[in-house]
Structure formats: structure tokens, C-alpha cells
Amino acid sequence: MDELQCPACGERDGLLGHRRGDLIDVTCEACGQQWVRDPNAIPDCDRCGGADMEGAVKAIVEKSRGSQLSIVATQVVYLCRSCDERVLASYRVGRSPLMPDQLPTE
Ligand SMILES: [Zn+2]
Ligand SMILES: [Zn+2]
């Protein structure tokens, strides 16, 4: 069981949860990030099989006119604390959304 933490700003205390069936809608009072928590669906790591996962916010980008990429939405993803250690370490510093592994092409 991992502890509940805002994937966007790291807040642990100011989180509001509203149960909705099996899911929990969580709102962070500190930064306003909202996400849905499915207590049964925190994935195990597909590389090492570990369950030590940490939430992070990932950007969904679209290519707008020209070659500019703009963030159209964010989603919460779960990263492995051992396999993705370096990504998580830099994410915790700035807390800016992770960019997708594959950027859209024309
Ligand atoms: Zn937050
Ligand atoms: Zn792993």
C-alpha cells in the first residue's frame, strides 16, 4: 500500500478524497490537481515487477501550427521507484509535467 501523495506537487496532507464506487476522486488543496485513484489498479512495474510505484504528472502534447508543441492536458502516471529512479529524482525537483516519450509528428 503506497501512501497517498499529490503527483503534481507532492502534497500529502491537504488531499480531499471522495469515494465514487471503487474509485476515489482526489483533489489536492495545495495545487488544485485532480485525479482518480483506483485502489485496485496501481500497476506493478512492467520491467522489474516491483510494486513500489510513485505517481507523477505527464503532459499530453499536441502539435499546433508551426512546430510548436503545446500541452493540451495532463495525466497521472505511475513510475517505478527503482527503474525510473532518475526520472523521478528530477521530477521531484521541479514538479513540472513529464514530457511524453514519443512526441507527435506531422
Ligand atoms: Zn498538489
Ligand atoms: Zn521497476
Q: How far is CA 2 from the centre of its chain?
A: 14
- Taking the centre of ligand 2 as the mean of its atom positions, its distance from the CA of residue 98, in whole angstroms, is 18
Q: Which residue has the higher pLDDT, 38 or 54?
A: 54
- Taking the centre of ligand 1 as the mean of its atom positions, its distance from the CA of residue 3, in whole angstroms, is 14
Structural domain contains residue 1: no
- Taking the centre of ligand 2 as the mean of its atom positions, its distance from the CA of residue 48, in whole angstroms, is 4
Task: Give the ligand with the smallest distance to the CA of 54.
Answer: 2
How many Cβ atoms are within 10 Å of 26's Cβ, its own excluded? Answer: 19
Q: What is the mean pLDDT of residues 61-68?
A: 83
Taking the alpha carbons at both ends of the chain, their separation in whole angstroms is 42
Element (H, E) at 92: helix 85-94
Task: Give the ligand with the smallest distance to the CA of 95.
Answer: 1
Q: Which range scores top for mean pLDDT: 6-20, 35-49, 67-81?
A: 6-20
Report which DSSP code applies to 98.
Answer: B
Q: Model pTM greater than 0.85?
A: no
Structural domain contains residue 100: no
Structural domain contains residue 5: no
Q: Which domain holds residue 87?
A: 15-94
As for how many domains the chain has, the answer is 1
**How do the residues of the chain divide into helix, strand and coil, expressed in percent and rounded to 5?**
10, 40, 55
